[in-house]
Amino acid sequence: MEQTVEQKLKALWALQTVHTKIDKIRQVRGELPIEVADLEDDIAGLDTRIEKIRTELDDLEDSIVKRKNMIKDAQTAIKKYEGQLGEVKNNREYDAISKEIEIQGLEIQVCEKRIREAEFEIKNKTEVYDKTLKNLEFSKSELELKKQELETITGETQKEEDALLAVTEKSEKKIEDRLLKVYNKLRNSFRNGLAVVSIERDSCSGCFNKIPPQLQSEIRQRKKIIICEHCGRVIVDEGIVFEEEHG
């Protein structure tokens, strides 16, 4: 059976009323769900950073061990070459062995330089690691507090919200698809989620602009769906509001 315009307006207002109650419940939670999600993202990022620094520190430690072993090998080679110096037969052999000793000495210097650089980097990275670890612990404790706060608020309001959401499902079935699409589009267009508003003090209660008397009269007749010429919201008369509140 085809709905009258009046029935459509009443269904839209009833849906808006329920949605407004849900919005108020969610406002009580405020930014907490976003803050919890942000903290969880921060913690994931800090965990990744800590893992990366750990790997870098391990690589630096490995490089120091490797360089120390290279120094030992070079020192062993120098001892061997020094032993050979006493057995040389000519200047050419002496120069060749001396050159090898020099090369090994340079190798030791390079390794010692690389070890100092690695130790300096380890010192800096360890400071960053400790600071990141503190930030992680702080974020985790903050997350725990925010989660508890959110759980408390959600626990107090979830039952009421679930009941209202069930009502919205029933209310939406009473509204034709085309009209519901318009309603949802309007609702998403305004920060306060008001798609359907009433006449209040001869004005639109959505944008507070004056409604001309002739238009007010048409709204009260409930013969067609009228939108505010300033904000585009659907306007219902005070009678529909009263009937919804006292029906």
> Which structural domains are found in the chain, ordered by start?
5-27+176-246 (1.10.287.1490), 31-156 (1.10.287.1490)
pLDDT of residue 50 exceeding 90, the answer is yes
User: Which tens digits make up the pLDDT trace of 193-219?
Assistant: 999 999 999 999 999 999 999 999 999
Q: Specify the pLDDT at position 229.
A: 93
At 32, is the pLDDT very low, low, confident or very high (cuts 50, 70, 90)?
Answer: confident
**Which has the higher per-residue pLDDT, 203 or 32?**
203
Beta strands in the chain (DSSP E): 196-200, 203-204, 234-236
At 182, is the pLDDT very low, low, confident or very high (cuts 50, 70, 90)?
Answer: very high
Backbone phi and psi for residue 195, each to the nearest 5 degrees, phi listed first: -100, -30
Which of 50-54, 127-131, 165-169 is least confident? 165-169
- Average of per-residue pLDDT across 212-234: 94
pLDDT of residue 221 exceeding 80, the answer is yes
pLDDT > 70 fraction of the chain, expressed in percent and rounded:
99
Q: Specify the pLDDT at position 245.
A: 77
Which of 7-11, 60-64, 134-138 is least confident? 7-11
Beta-bridge partner residues of 235:
197
Mean pLDDT score of the chain, rounded to an integer?
A: 93
Q: Specify the pLDDT at position 1.
A: 59
- Average of per-residue pLDDT across 175-197: 94
Q: Model pTM greater than 0.85?
A: no
pLDDT of residue 156 exceeding 90, the answer is no
At 246, is the pLDDT very low, low, confident or very high (cuts 50, 70, 90)?
Answer: confident
Q: Are 193 and 233 in contact (CB under 8 A)?
A: no
- Average of per-residue pLDDT across 57-61: 97
Q: Specify the pLDDT at position 243.
A: 82
pLDDT of residue 9 exceeding 80, the answer is yes
- Average of per-residue pLDDT across 167-174: 90
Q: Are 199 and 242 in contact (CB under 8 A)?
A: no
Q: Are 205 and 199 in contact (CB under 8 A)?
A: yes
Beta-bridge partner residues of 200:
203
Specify the 3-state DSSP secondary structure of 222: coil
Instruction: Copy the structure tokens of residue 67.
Output: 């360089």
Q: Are 139 and 39 in contact (CB under 8 A)?
A: yes
The letter for the amino acid at 69 is: N
At 31, is the pLDDT very low, low, confident or very high (cuts 50, 70, 90)?
Answer: confident
